[in-house]
């Protein structure tokens, strides 16, 4: 870190990791240093990768424990993926906060998973306050979440 707390990056300090099973394409990586946990998304060898969906996180999310030592896969989640549905049902964004993983589809629908088990615990949909509709999430990382002091989660989709 520099004198005001900004990270300082240097090519000499870069670390490379082999692409872990089951992936042949990795699209997103979220690392939690305090628990040495890595969340990767992308495509397994038996899941077709269509370059036309370049913004999406992929079809699979995998959690690895002990990432910096000997990575151990804890679970693998098949993410929503139906490119023929109307509206499109792919996963375009991912964030990790508190006890949960939050993913978002292009139509603003948020899937919530338990971080420890990978079990889906719910879906947040646009409510009557916005006419049950959302704008199109058209950016690769269009979701963020923050756990408030009172335990409530603030989830923002853009």
Return the CATH number at 116: 2.130.10.10
Write out the DSSP string of the chain.
--TTS-----GGG----PPPTTEEEEEEEEEETTTTEEEEEEEETTS---GGGTTS--SEEEEEESTTSS-EEEEEEEPP-BTTSSS-B---EEEEETTEEEEE-TTS-EEEEETTT--EEEEE---GGGTT------STT-EEEEE-TTS-EEEEE-
Q: Is residue 132 part of a domain?
A: yes
Q: Is residue 128 part of a domain?
A: yes
Q: Is residue 112 part of a domain?
A: yes
Instruction: Please write the tens of the pLDDT for every residue from 112-138.
Output: 999 999 999 999 999 999 898 888 998
Instruction: Please write the tens of the pLDDT for every residue from 24-81.
Output: 999 999 999 999 999 999 999 999 898 999 999 999 999 999 999 999 999 999 999 9
Q: How many domains does the chain have?
A: 1
- Which residues span the domain enclosing 54? 18-157
Q: Is residue 47 part of a domain?
A: yes
Biggest CA pair distance of the chain:
52
CB atoms within 10 A of CB 99: 14
Q: Is residue 3 part of a domain?
A: no
User: Rounded distance, CA 141 to CA 158, Å?
Assistant: 9
Q: In terms of pTM, does the model score above 0.85?
A: yes
């Amino acid at each position: 870190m520099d004198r005001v707390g900004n990270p300082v990056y240097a090519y000499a300090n870069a670390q490379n990791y082999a692409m872990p099973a089951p992936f042949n394409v990795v699209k997103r990586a979220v690392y939690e240093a305090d628990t040495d946990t890595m969340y990767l998304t992308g495509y397994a060898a038996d899941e077709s990768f269509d370059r036309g969906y370049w913004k999406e996180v992929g079809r699979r999310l995998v959690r690895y424990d002990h990432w910096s030592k000997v990575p151990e896969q804890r679970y693998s989640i098949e993410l929503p993926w139906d490119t023929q549905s109307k509206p499109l049902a792919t996963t375009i964004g991912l964030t990790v906060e508190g006890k949960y993983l939050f993913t978002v589809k292009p139509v603003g629908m948020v899937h919530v998973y338990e971080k420890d088990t990978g079990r889906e615990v719910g879906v947040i949909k646009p409510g009557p306050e916005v006419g049950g509709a959302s704008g199109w999430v058209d950016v690769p990382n269009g979701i963020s979440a923050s756990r408030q002091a009172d335990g409530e989660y603030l989830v923002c989709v853009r």
